[in-house]
């Protein structure tokens, strides 16, 4: 009876529960007829297994061995031999599921009036000379004239060779992301990067289409560490918000080995809790995206009083019409003179359209955005006085429908947009350890940089991170004897917060390279967390270490925070730090939880020295918050096995029990149970399911039932695909 009652509840939840916290799993089918290259993780000494494999599997080539960040081997051989090898007990895991990808928005053929040049961030005479910067990404087009000079070498952990070139069309979906990132860091040609004299090392961890596995990313980081790089840029990530996901742990280990790791915070904003691994790593410097002030042209539509966003096309005239103008959708209409033409880009010749539009006196052209955008607009070879802009298909459909019943008139208008955190930039905090991420902001919107065979404008925290990697190269040249912690913390200490943004959106604020070089105060760490308060009255302590790199003693004091009900601060009185000295101070925060709302609480403390003010971001969680409890669910056919499925999911809170039930995707009728775990571990959970347990292949609607330690239940929905 209890079981039937539970199923009724589950079915009702499937009907009304929105998806949250989980990603739709993707399945990679194995082609057993082809030779493959894989990475396996092993239990024990990988060098011993190398010898064993070479002796017992002579048809499998051991390409490389990994020992620094994880224990594993890269192998190449036929599916038949790799399948037999994977059956041995020492093989801990193989990684066929694509988990990581670059995530940016291409702004093709945009006008350059709002575009940011990477070199504009460097307001110093330093250029990053002799600093080695690794780009772990989709590869780099090292033939690009702006990158040839600074490209030194690298490795490809997708194809396992020493040629980390971007994916080209004959190999699959082409990529350009890594080349764009490398140009931001150190382009030295027609375009200049932040650190144009830095040395670029490329590590291709993401293959066709920009996809790769967590182990490929870790293997690329390990190779970069072996090659002795100073800084590693990772403009990639996934959706798992936790500090102990494998890639985050690998990043922390690489930092312990003496490398600075700069990581994009992610493009899943503006909601909280959206930062993903490896930007969640404690020892990484995570970067959010700054949108600089810009003028945005849009069309106001009357008499409907609606605004239409425009993406203006390069080499075309300005949208500066003197009067309200009627819209048309067909050049063959009786009188197109002085009107705005809207048409789809499908099956048009842009040059012929322009010629006819000029002849008939058209005042402007609006084109639908679709999958043919790049192909069509790249045919535009000559400048034209007629302004052309792209609009979304949704706006185009609304305009077409409305114009069937009435005439519409448009007028170009300009809106000033202030400097802000880009809406797409992921926000913190991090679950489990409640740290503030990102650490800092850098330009990430409308960034022009190198791509294969030219230049493009891209958006994303993927573009913000390499600005910081370049800034750290410049800082390292200026202060070659500073430790990595000093370099990172100098950049954070001197960052300038945006007044309208919270710490979990911007960290310490916008970086300033010149201020970081010149500062004599370095604070470790400028972002503090007091964790989660659970008792009715509880005190937590955070520690700040202030370093004075100058030749004179400096005096510091805290500005007394504004009183808030339920919060009681204990701050140190004024204190001195001697020349070349350090001092650690404690900050206590007592919270009476019954007087404070549940959830995230954050703000700024101010440390003052003479005429300098150093903002210290702080955060605490009162009792609970709206963070995701489960995420990162993936289900796939185990590599080189027809009999086993692999699953994994990530928990951010201790759970007593996890159940997964499968339902028909259309009728929502109950089909079968899939998984039942008692006392799963906090963090990543992985395991196998026998294929015979699942009655049929195909798509299922899956419901995850999580029983918390306090007896409450949380339900999460996702889709599962069981391959044939």
Q: Is residue 298 part of a domain?
A: yes
Residues 162-195: pLDDT tens digits?
Answer: 999 999 999 999 999 999 999 999 999 999 999 9
**Given this model, what pLDDT does residue 295 score?**
80
pLDDT-derived band at 380, boundaries 50, 70, 90: low
pLDDT-derived band at 8, boundaries 50, 70, 90: low
| Residue percentage of the chain with pLDDT more than 70 | 89
Q: Are 645 and 688 in contact (CB under 8 A)?
A: yes
Same domain, 143 and 282: yes
Q: Is residue 533 part of a domain?
A: yes
Mean pLDDT of 81-110: 68
Higher pLDDT, 79 or 164: 164
Measured CA to CA, the distance from residue 288 to residue 617 in angstroms comes to: 15
**Given this model, what pLDDT does residue 98 score?**
46
| 260-264 and 285-291 strand pairing | parallel
The CATH number given to whatever domain includes residue 124 is 3.40.50.200
Q: Which domain holds residue 543?
A: 521-622
**Given this model, what pLDDT does residue 103 score?**
62
Same domain, 151 and 270: yes
**Given this model, what pLDDT does residue 375 score?**
42
Same domain, 550 and 684: no
Measured CA to CA, the distance from residue 622 to residue 624 in angstroms comes to: 6
Catalytic residue selected from 103, 137, 188, 439: 137
Same domain, 64 and 91: yes
**Given this model, what pLDDT does residue 388 score?**
86
Same domain, 316 and 273: no
Measured CA to CA, the distance from residue 168 to residue 453 in angstroms comes to: 12
**Given this model, what pLDDT does residue 320 score?**
77
What's the mean pLDDT when you consider all of the chain?
87
Measured CA to CA, the distance from residue 64 to residue 74 in angstroms comes to: 5
Q: Are 577 and 606 in contact (CB under 8 A)?
A: no
Q: Is residue 397 part of a domain?
A: yes
Q: Which residue, among 177, 244, 268, 275, has the nearest Cα to 503 in the 3D structure?
A: 275
429 contacts: CB under 8 Å, gap ≥ 6: 272, 273, 275, 435, 436, 437, 504, 529, 600, 619
DSSP letter at 423 equals T
| Count: domains in the chain | 5
Residues 197-223: pLDDT tens digits?
Answer: 999 999 999 999 998 888 889 999 999
Same domain, 234 and 262: yes
Q: Which residue has the tokens 């000379």?
A: 129
**Given this model, what pLDDT does residue 639 score?**
65
Same domain, 403 and 437: no
**Given this model, what pLDDT does residue 106 score?**
53
Q: Which residue, among 649, 587, 651, has the nearest Cα to 618 in the 3D structure?
A: 587
Q: Report residue 651 as tokens.
A: 């928990």
Mean pLDDT of 550-559: 96
- CB neighbour class for 520 (10 Å; exposed up to 12, middle 13-18, buried from 19): middle
**Given this model, what pLDDT does residue 26 score?**
40
**Given this model, what pLDDT does residue 20 score?**
42
Question: What b/e sequence results for 412-444 when a residue is b if at least 16 CB atoms lie within 10 Å of its CB, and e otherwise?
Answer: beeeeeeebbbebbbbbbbbbebbbbbbbbbbb
Higher pLDDT, 632 or 184: 184
**Given this model, what pLDDT does residue 381 score?**
52
The CATH number given to whatever domain includes residue 541 is 2.60.40.10
Catalytic residue selected from 36, 81, 144, 177: 177
| Confidence check: pLDDT of 236 > 80 | yes
Same domain, 638 and 688: yes
- Residue after which a domain boundary falls, among 463, 482, 514: 514
Active site residue 137: yes
Q: Is residue 27 part of a domain?
A: no
**Given this model, what pLDDT does residue 34 score?**
61
Q: Is residue 210 part of a domain?
A: yes
Measured CA to CA, the distance from residue 233 to residue 217 in angstroms comes to: 12
| Confidence check: pLDDT of 377 > 80 | no
Q: Is residue 28 part of a domain?
A: no
Same domain, 356 and 479: no
Residues 575-617: pLDDT tens digits?
Answer: 999 999 999 999 999 999 999 999 999 999 999 998 899 999 9
Q: Report residue 560 as tokens.
A: 């007394």
Question: What b/e sequence results for 619-641 when a residue is b if at least 16 CB atoms lie within 10 Å of its CB, and e otherwise?
Answer: bbbbbebebbbbbbbbbbbbbbb
pLDDT-derived band at 19, boundaries 50, 70, 90: very low
Same domain, 444 and 540: no
Range of lowest pLDDT (197-211, 291-305, 594-608, 625-639): 625-639
Catalytic residue selected from 277, 425, 462, 501: 462
Higher pLDDT, 79 or 400: 400
Residues 460-510: pLDDT tens digits?
Answer: 999 999 999 999 999 999 999 999 999 999 999 999 999 989 999 999 999
Mean pLDDT of 422-448: 95
Q: Which residue, among 186, 124, 101, 120, has the nearest Cα to 149 in the 3D structure?
A: 186
Q: Report residue 147 as tokens.
A: 């990158």
- Residue after which a domain boundary falls, among 568, 599, 622: 622
Residues 641-666: pLDDT tens digits?
Answer: 667 788 888 898 889 999 999 998 88
Q: Which residue, among 249, 245, 237, has the nearest Cα to 205 in the 3D structure?
A: 237
- Residue after which a domain boundary falls, among 95, 121, 139: 95
Measured CA to CA, the distance from residue 687 to residue 626 in angstroms comes to: 28
Active site residue 462: yes
Same domain, 61 and 48: yes
**Given this model, what pLDDT does residue 632 score?**
80
- CB neighbour class for 135 (10 Å; exposed up to 12, middle 13-18, buried from 19): buried
The CATH number given to whatever domain includes residue 11 is 2.60.40.2550
Measured CA to CA, the distance from residue 298 to residue 276 in angstroms comes to: 34
Q: Is residue 26 part of a domain?
A: no
> Which parts of 301-409 fold into alpha helices (H)?
350-359, 373-377, 393-403
Same domain, 262 and 318: no
**Given this model, what pLDDT does residue 415 score?**
85
Q: Which residue, among 117, 116, 151, has the nearest Cα to 135 in the 3D structure?
A: 151
Q: Is residue 29 part of a domain?
A: no
Higher pLDDT, 459 or 691: 459
Q: Supply the Cα-derived Rg of the chain in whole angstroms.
A: 28
């Amino acid at each position: 009876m209890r079981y039937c009652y539970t199923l009724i509840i589950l079915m009702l939840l499937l009907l009304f529960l929105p998806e949250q916290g989980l990603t739709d799993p993707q399945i990679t089918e194995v082609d057993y007829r082809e030779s493959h290259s894989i990475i396996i993780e092993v239990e024990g000494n990988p060098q011993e297994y190398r010898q064993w494999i070479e002796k017992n599997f002579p048809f499998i080539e051991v390409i490389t061995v990994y020992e620094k960040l994880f224990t594993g081997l890269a192998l190449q051989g036929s599916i038949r031999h790799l399948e037999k090898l994977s059956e041995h007990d020492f093989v801990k895991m193989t990684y066929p599921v694509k988990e990581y990808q670059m995530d940016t928005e291409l702004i093709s053929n945009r006008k350059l009036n709002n575009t940011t040049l990477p070199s504009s961030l460097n307001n110093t005479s330093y250029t990053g000379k002799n600093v080695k910067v690794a780009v772990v990404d989709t590869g780099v087009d090292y033939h690009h004239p702006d990158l040839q000079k600074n490209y030194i070498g690298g490795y490809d952990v997708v194809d396992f060779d020493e040629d980390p070139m971007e994916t080209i069309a004959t190999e699959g979906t082409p990529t350009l992301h890594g080349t764009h990132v490398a140009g931001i860091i150190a382009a030295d040609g027609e375009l200049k990067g932040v650190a144009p004299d830095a040395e670029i090392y490329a590590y291709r961890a993401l293959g066709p289409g920009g996809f790769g596995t967590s182990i490929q990313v870790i293997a690329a980081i390990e190779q970069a560490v072996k090659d002795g790089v100073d800084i590693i840029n990772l403009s990639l990530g996934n959706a798992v918000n936790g500090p102990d996901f494998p890639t985050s742990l690998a990043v922390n280990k690489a930092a312990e080995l003496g490398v600075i790791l700069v990581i994009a915070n992610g493009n899943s904003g503006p909601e909280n809790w959206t930062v993903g691994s490896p930007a969640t790593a404690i020892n990484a410097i995570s970067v959010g995206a700054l949108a600089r002030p810009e003028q945005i042209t849009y069309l106001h539509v009357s008499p409907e009083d609606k605004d239409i966003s425009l993406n203006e096309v390069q080499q075309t005239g300005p949208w500066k019409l003197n009067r309200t103008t009627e819209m048309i959708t067909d050049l063959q209409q009786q009188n197109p003179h002085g009107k705005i033409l809207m048409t789809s880009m499908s099956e048009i010749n842009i040059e012929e359209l322009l010629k006819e539009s000029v002849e008939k006196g058209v005042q402007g052209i609006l084109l639908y955005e679709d999958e043919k955008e790049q192909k069509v607009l790249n045919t535009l070879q000559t400048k034209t006085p007629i302004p052309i802009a792209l609009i979304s298909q949704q706006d185009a459909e609304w305009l077409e429908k409305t114009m069937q019943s009435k005439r519409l008139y448009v007028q170009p208008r300009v809106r000033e947009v202030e400097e802000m955190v880009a809406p797409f930039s992921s926000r913190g905090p991090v679950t489990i350890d409640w740290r503030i991420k990102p650490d800092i902001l850098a330009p990430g919107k409308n960034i022009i940089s190198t791509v294969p065979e030219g230049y493009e404008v891209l958006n994303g925290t993927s573009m913000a991170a390499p600005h910081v990697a370049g800034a750290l190269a410049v800082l390292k040249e200026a202060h070659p004897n500073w430790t990595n912690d000093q370099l990172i913390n100098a950049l954070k200490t001197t960052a300038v917060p945006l007044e309208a943004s919270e710490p979990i959106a911007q960290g310490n604020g916008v970086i300033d390279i010149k201020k970081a070089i010149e500062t004599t105060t370095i604070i470790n760490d400028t972002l503090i967390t007091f964790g989660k308060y659970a008792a009715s009255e509880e005190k937590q302590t955070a520690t700040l270490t202030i370093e004075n790199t100058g030749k004179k003693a400096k005096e510091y004091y805290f500005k007394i925070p504004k009183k808030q009900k339920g919060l009681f601060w204990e701050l140190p009185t004024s204190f001195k730090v001697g020349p070349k000295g350090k001092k650690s101070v404690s900050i206590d925060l007592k919270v009476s939880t019954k007087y404070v709302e549940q959830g995230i609480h954050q703000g700024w403390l101010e440390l003052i020295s003479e005429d300098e003010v150093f903002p210290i971001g702080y955060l605490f969680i009162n009792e609970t918050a709206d963070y995701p409890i489960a995420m990162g669910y993936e289900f796939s056919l185990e590599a080189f096995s027809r009999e086993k499925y692999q699953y994994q999911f990530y928990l951010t809170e201790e759970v007593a029990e996890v159940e997964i039930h499968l339902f028909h995707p259309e009728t929502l009728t109950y089909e079968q149970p899939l998984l039942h775990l008692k006392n799963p571990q906090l963090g990543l959970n992985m395991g196998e399911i026998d294929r015979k347990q699942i009655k049929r292949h195909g798509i299922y609607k899956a419901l995850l039932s999580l029983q918390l330690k306090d007896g409450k239940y949380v339900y999460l929905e996702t889709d599962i695909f069981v391959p044939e």
